Amino acid sequence: MNILAAVSKDIPIADAGIVALLGYGVVFLGLILLMVVVILLGKAFVAAEKRKKEAPIETPAAAPVAEPDAPVAPGSAGGVKLYDVEPKTAAMLMAIVADKMGKPLNELRFISIREVK
Amino acid sequence: MEILYQNLLNIEFQHVIMWIIGGLLIYFAIAKEMEPTLLLPMGFGAILVNLPIAEAGSGVQAVIDFLFKIGIDSHELFPLLLFVGIGAMIDFEPLLTNPKLMLFGAAAQFGIFFTLFLATLLGFDLKDAASIAIIGAADGPTSIFVAGQLQSNYIGAIMVAAYSYMALVPLVQPPIIKLCTTKKERLIRMEYKGKKVSKTTKILFPIVVTVLVAFVAPDAVALIGFLMFGNLIRECGVLNSLSDTAQNVLANLITIFLGITIASRMKAEDFLQVETLLIMGLGLVAFIVDTFGGIMLAKLMNLFCKEKINPMIGAAGISAFPMSARVVHKLGLQEDSSNFLLMHSIGVNVSGQIASVIAGGLILALVKGMLGM
């Protein structure tokens, strides 16, 4: 259980070095791979959305129109309705409230934010 | 008559020390609110398993040992089930809006690998060194999973260190962050581009992560699979009641038993060793080096990137979620009351969660391979 004892049979140290270097390297590789996949996925969805918008919209008269989802504030657990408030300002307000309450954002639910004039 | 005072005679000095340790854990849990959900059951469990009556075969020890056997020893059931709850709690949106943040999660695992080397240098064998190093994952279930799979002799001390330092993140990280950054760097503002992430992306993300991790670190599939399963329940939008159950009922139920089960490895004869102190020290080193690693990557990126990154967010790459992100956010506000880093630090924090699981899986694969386990 001392340094000299460990150094005298230096194979575990070499093993540990290999595990450390390989492990750290592969963690980086794995996360880079994941990052690339997420970026590509994001781009594919943006492109698909663009194509959808550019295409002529043919809506049959009788087809029911699906109501679009309300914009979801980043970091929140559900939707929040914004009245005369920029999404950026709302995000800031929610961050301040979470911080003052000492609770993580995902444990709080904001129903709506309205500017009082 | 002897039966009335037999237990008093069975009390040993080491038992009393363990009661004090248990009492301290309960004190920190209640008075300081440090990870009370785990430190309190662990503290009470430490007292329970060190009662002389327990040794006399009252059944308490047998029940806790049974919980350990089914919950941790056989297939690491408790940490995996807890990961379903954690997955349901995590919102990956801040990470999905800025995928580059994933790099910080990887960088902040430096402490794990540094500590592995250091622990081996201090004389721990490879399986124990790897189990100790994973304290740096700042993630209780991952630590339990790795230490359990490697059958470490120090699982009790490792758990106490892991959860204690997670609770101490608000005390451990700020001085390191301040030491590694200049005031000018801490004042860097980062604009949050709140891009809308489609529901499809959010649903695909847990599935893609699970598949990718299966290729990169097959031993981490159980951990990442359960974590991402929880997240899929949350994001699919049609299982709100299951998501709610996973986040609250399931997570709470497992936490109650996990703490007291870990205490089964806090028997005086196992816990009161010099190695326990070494493990506590190494755990601290792991957290410090993790923080350092994340910050240094941000500094390095600032040399090349046009859009500057506040290096403090790198520190949130340890997966102590969401404490680490909140620490960085608060430090940002201390320097400039209008500099909000929360969304960036949360993004880095959740990437740390994924990175720590991958790191755990890789360590398992490499160490098991080397030891022929």
What is the per-residue pLDDT across B131-163, written as a single tens digit (0 to 9) for each?
A: 999 988 888 888 888 988 888 888 878 888 888
β-bridge mates for residue A82, sequence order: A113
Query: Which residues of chain A are modeled with pLDDT < 50?
Result: 1-8
- How much is the pLDDT for A75? 53
Inform me whether the pLDDT recorded for B15 exceeds 70: yes
Of B144, B160, B106, the closest CA to residue B282 belongs to B160
**Contact by Cβ (8 Å): A81, A70:** yes
- How much is the pLDDT for B70? 86
Q: Which residues contact B89 (CB under 8 A, 6 or more apart)?
A: A106, B230, B234, B247, B251
- How much is the pLDDT for B139? 82
**Contact by Cβ (8 Å): B23, B47:** yes
DSSP run (H or E) holding A112: strand A112-114
CA dist B369 to A27, B75, B329, Å?
17, 19, 41
User: Which CATH number characterizes residue B284's domain?
Assistant: 1.20.1530
Tokens 């993300």 map to which residue?
B205
**Contact status of A28 with chain B (Cβ, < 8 Å):** yes
Inform me whether the pLDDT recorded for B80 exceeds 70: yes
Query: Which residues of chain B make contact with A39, given a CB cutoff of 8 A?
Result: 99
Contact B358 A27 (CB under 8 A): yes
- How much is the pLDDT for B226? 93
Inform me whether the pLDDT recorded for B95 exceeds 70: yes
- How much is the pLDDT for A78? 61
Q: How confident is the model over A17-49, as pLDDT tens digits?
A: 888 888 888 888 988 998 898 888 888 887 887
Please compute the mean of the pLDDT values over residues B165-169 and round it to a whole number: 80
pLDDT band for position B244 (cuts 50, 70, 90): very high
- With 0-12 / 13-18 / 19 or more C-beta atoms within 10 angstroms meaning exposed / middle / buried, residue B128 is buried
Q: Where are the domains of chain A?
A: 9-54, 81-114
Buried b (16+ CB within 10 A) or exposed e, B227-245: bbbbbbbbbeeeeeebbeb
- How much is the pLDDT for A67? 56
* Residue B126 to residue B123: CA distance in whole angstroms: 9
Buried b (16+ CB within 10 A) or exposed e, A20-44: beebbebbbebbeebbebbeebbee
Please compute the mean of the pLDDT values over residues B153-180 and round it to a whole number: 85
Please compute the mean of the pLDDT values over residues B310-327 and round it to a whole number: 87
What percent of chain B has pLDDT above 70? Answer: 96
pLDDT band for position B228 (cuts 50, 70, 90): very high
Of B289, B294, B340, the closest CA to residue B315 belongs to B294
Q: Which residues contact B371 (CB under 8 A, 6 or more apart)?
A: B126, B127
pLDDT band for position B336 (cuts 50, 70, 90): confident
The minimum CA-CA distance between B312 and chain A, rounded to whole Å, is 17
- How much is the pLDDT for A2? 47
Inform me whether the pLDDT recorded for B35 exceeds 80: no
Please compute the mean of the pLDDT values over residues B101-116 and round it to a whole number: 90
Locate A10 and state its tokens.
């230096």
- DSSP secondary structure string for all residues of B84-110: HHHHHH---HHHHH-GGGHHHHHHTTH
The minimum CA-CA distance between B367 and chain A, rounded to whole Å, is 7
Please compute the mean of the pLDDT values over residues B322-339 and round it to a whole number: 87
- How much is the pLDDT for A6? 46
In the structure, how many helices (H) and strands (E) does chain B have? 22, 0
Locate B366 and state its tokens.
């490499």
Contact A95 B340 (CB under 8 A): yes
* Residue that wins the pLDDT comparison between B289 and B38: B289
How many separate domains does chain B show? 1
- How much is the pLDDT for B245? 92
Nearest to B102 among A1, A31, A69 (CB): A31
Most confident among B59-73, B225-239, B322-336 (mean pLDDT): B225-239
This complex has an ipTM of: 0.79
Cβ neighbours, 10 Å, residue B304: 6
Which residue of A2, A9, A27, A109 is the best one to mutate when testing the B interface, meaning the one whose CB has the most B CBs within 10 A? A27
The minimum CA-CA distance between A7 and chain B, rounded to whole Å, is 7
**Contact by Cβ (8 Å): B46, B18:** yes
pLDDT band for position B215 (cuts 50, 70, 90): confident
Contact A74 B343 (CB under 8 A): yes
pLDDT band for position B207 (cuts 50, 70, 90): very high
Running DSSP on this structure, what letter comes out for residue A84?
A: S
Q: How far is CA A74 from the centre of its chain?
A: 8
Q: What are phi and psi of B157, to 5 degrees?
A: -65, -40
- How much is the pLDDT for B308? 87
- How much is the pLDDT for B55? 52
pLDDT band for position B206 (cuts 50, 70, 90): very high
Running DSSP on this structure, what letter comes out for residue A56?
A: P
**Contact by Cβ (8 Å): B29, B43:** yes
- How much is the pLDDT for B230? 94
The minimum CA-CA distance between B203 and chain A, rounded to whole Å, is 12
Please compute the mean of the pLDDT values over residues B244-264 and round it to a whole number: 88
* Residue B154 to residue B275: CA distance in whole angstroms: 8
- Per the prediction, chain B carries an average pLDDT of 86
- How much is the pLDDT for B4? 65
* Residue B94 to residue B101: CA distance in whole angstroms: 9
- How much is the pLDDT for A1? 46
DSSP H helices, B122-167, are 126-133, 140-149, 155-167
Helix pair B140-149, B77-89: axis angle to 10 deg: 160
Domain range for B114 is: 2-371
